[in-house]
Amino acid sequence: MQKLLKKLKEKNLLMTHVVIGYPSLTETIKIITTMAESGVDIIELQMPFSDPIADGPVIMKANEIALKNGTTTKDCMKIMKDLSCIVKIPLLFMGYFNTIFNYGIEKFCKDAFKAGCQGLIIPDMPIEEEEQEKFYHYCEKYNLAPILVIAPSTPNDRLKKLAKFAKAFVYCVARKGVTGEKTDFQKDFQKYINNVKKYLKIPLAVGFGILEKKQVEFVHKHAQIAVVGSVLIKEYEKNKLMGIENLIKKLKK
């Protein structure tokens, strides 16, 4: 977690997203190194899953292709290990709980830690199931930051509860809906973020539907980290690594 905590001392961070194994494992490595070299601050590496319910069509399709390519959880661990040595920025795993549950929760956390992973974003592992799963317990044991996800509809009493489990930073979903579709930041966005800040005294990341420079600038006025996902996959499909490099440089400028 240390690499991540150190990074969080900086301002106006950009976090990006890749699906491991999309379009292939070798390309994933190139995409991640390109992102790091272009100035990205944190990258979430999504472990492909058959039923990614929080993801929209672009990331869903990438998951499907990654699985068709035969990407396994072991491949994800290996890529994390290899890249943690190559790139200097913190890398996180993003994925769905069944991938971890199936691998063995403690074993997963232990192996992820050994591979240099800094934290885990698992949107379908709510704090209410901790008694059953001991997921947050193992995150702590193996020095991984569990990155909690918060929605505009999350009520204050839940924010209070979530604050006890959150580490490093919190991922605020900008709006209702799944990933990908463009977000129209409206007035109540500021109210939402200010309210979250009342309960969670750690850095905030804002994601879902952030496609352009103007939106990144807007997010940075309110939160430390802007998250960009689906649009990079689309850009890669059009203009490959060069497209990713150009888009990130534009977003970071």
Partner 1 sequence: MYSLPYKNGHYGQFGGRYVPEILMPSLIELEKAFNKYKKDKKFLKDLDDLYKNYSGRPTPLYFCENLTKKLGGAKIFIKNEGLNHTGAHKINHCLGQILLAKRMGKKRVIAETGAGQHGVATASVAAKFGLKCTIYMGARDVARQRPNVFWMEQVGATVVPVYDGNQTLKDAVNSAMRDYIADPESHFLLGSALGPVPYPEMNTFFQAIIGREVKKQCREIYNIHPDYLVACVGGGSNAIGLFYEFLDDKSVNLIGVEAGGAGKRNAIRFKGGKYGVIEGYKSYFLQDENGNTLPTHSISAGLDYPGIGPGHAYLKETGRVKYVSATDKEVLKAFQLLAKNEGIISALESAHAVAYAIKLAPKLAKNKNIIVNLSGRGDKDLFIITEALGDKKFYEFLKSKV
Residue nearer to partner 1 on the CB measure, 5 or 54: 54
Residue nearer to partner 1 on the CB measure, 105 or 232: 105
CB burial of residue 131 (10 Å; 0-12, 13-18, 19+): exposed
Residue nearer to partner 1 on the CB measure, 89 or 178: 178
Buried b (16+ CB within 10 A) or exposed e, 182-217: ebebeeebeebbebbbebbebbbbbbbbbbeeebbe
Catalytic (active site) residue 44 = yes
Does residue 66 sit in helix, strand or coil?
Answer: helix
C-alpha to C-alpha distance for 230 and 14, rounded to whole angstroms = 14
Tell the residue number behind the tokens 């709006």, with chain if given: 175
Structure-block tokens of residue 204: 């905030």
- Least distance to partner 1, CB of residue 229, Å: 15
Catalytic residue among 10, 27, 55, 181: 55
Give the residues lining the site for partner 1 (CB under 8 A): 48-51, 53-54, 56, 60, 64, 67, 72-73, 97-99, 101-103, 123-126, 128-129, 132, 148-151, 153-155, 158, 162, 173, 176-178
C-alpha to C-alpha distance for 235 and 246, rounded to whole angstroms = 10
Catalytic residue among 44, 75, 111, 235: 44
Residue nearer to partner 1 on the CB measure, 12 or 72: 72
Catalytic (active site) residue 181 = no
Q: How many CA atoms lie within 13 A of 190 on its CB side?
A: 4
Does residue 165 sit in helix, strand or coil?
Answer: coil
C-alpha to C-alpha distance for 48 and 30, rounded to whole angstroms = 18
Which residues lie across from 46 on neighbouring strands? 19, 94
Residue nearer to partner 1 on the CB measure, 58 or 247: 58
Active-site residues, by number, are 44, 55
